[in-house]
Amino acid sequence: MTTTSSSTGSLKVGLIGHTGNIGSALLPRLLDAHRAGQIELLILHREGSDLSKIPSTIEKRIIQLDEHGREINRAAVDGVEILISTVADPALASQTYLLDALHEADSHKKTLKTFIHSDFGVSWTPEEIRRIPKLKDLVPVKANLVNRAKDLGVPITDIRIGLLDSFFFSLKFLGTDAKSNKIELFRGALHNPIRLTTLDYLSRSVLRLITEETEALDGRTIHVFDKSPTGQELVDALTAIHGSEPAIVEYTEARFDQNSKTTETISAISTGLKFKWGENSWGEGEVYSGHGHDGESLEEIIKRYL
């Protein structure tokens, strides 16, 4: 069900982080929805953000996610019905200033349907965090934010996406390299699915969720991914594309043990995702998959990265 703002007739959607990996992918679809009158898009940005891709017809509001930004942030979130944050990892904790602003602004007006915070990750288990201690840099930050929102009574939604397809096929985040026809597998990955999300599918899904399930988003953890191939399905797709089987490299237990001790967050995430794929431990939760997707096949996606 869609709820509309009484002043404009459209759902007021605020986007933070429009220049980033995730935010820049959401932006064009939200702009299209704005032009179509489906939503009223507001861009919330910090002073100095690049606004060159934002049309002059779109309202822009400044945010300042620190202890001096209280009044600015309160004005920025005023009247917003859906707030989407895609801020970078180093700024995750500072979203607490947004919660304060939403709490203060919304305690007067009850307009907010939900705050989609900057998650866009996976559901980590306590076992994974124990085995890969550097995950503690990231996972508790996101969890603490959700707990704080609940304490304040601010509606909040987690959207989890597995791994972006570009990270998997092009950035070789899990060791697989589509271009050089190589796949890296850990434990049961040959038979287990890896959750991959294209930015097109993510933006389509976010728009559908906020416009079709506006009133029902609070408190949900929604897993959004459009492809979940097993290692074997990836081998088959790469074989079909290259005309020869990919080199299959085993990611050994010794490498896993070594990489689990990493002191870098990115490496911890990559090691953790290898574990998830190898153990098929994507966790419980609501899967939002395949809704109205007429997108690319797995082979078409891979071909984009050759």
Which residues form the interface with ligand NAP (CB under 6 A)?
16-23, 45-46, 49-50, 63, 65, 86-89, 91, 94, 118-121, 161, 163-164, 167
Q: How far apart are CA 2 and CA 192, in angstroms?
A: 37
| C-alpha separations of 4 from 80, 120, 124, 163, 267 in Å | 11, 26, 35, 33, 43
Shortest approach of ligand NAP to residue 122 CB, angstroms? 7
Judged by beta carbon, residue 4 or residue 21, the one nearer ligand NAP is: 21
Phi, then psi, of 121 in degrees rounded to 5: -120, -135
Show the tokens assigned to 45.
């940005």
Q: What residue number has its CB nearest to ligand NAP?
A: 20
Mention every residue, 6+ apart, whose C-beta is less than 8 A from residue 102: 77, 80, 83, 112, 115, 152, 154
Shortest approach of ligand NAP to residue 23 CB, angstroms? 5
Shortest approach of ligand NAP to residue 295 CB, angstroms? 17
CA max distance for the chain: 63
Judged by beta carbon, residue 10 or residue 162, the one nearer ligand NAP is: 162
Judged by beta carbon, residue 69 or residue 155, the one nearer ligand NAP is: 69
Q: How far apart are CA 281 and CA 74, in angstroms?
A: 39
Judged by beta carbon, residue 38 or residue 149, the one nearer ligand NAP is: 149
Shortest approach of ligand NAP to residue 50 CB, angstroms? 6
Shortest approach of ligand NAP to residue 195 CB, angstroms? 9
Cβ-based neighbour number of residue 40 at 10 Å:
22
Judged by beta carbon, residue 12 or residue 195, the one nearer ligand NAP is: 195
Judged by beta carbon, residue 33 or residue 65, the one nearer ligand NAP is: 65
Shortest approach of ligand NAP to residue 47 CB, angstroms? 8
Judged by beta carbon, residue 61 or residue 242, the one nearer ligand NAP is: 61
Shortest approach of ligand NAP to residue 67 CB, angstroms? 13
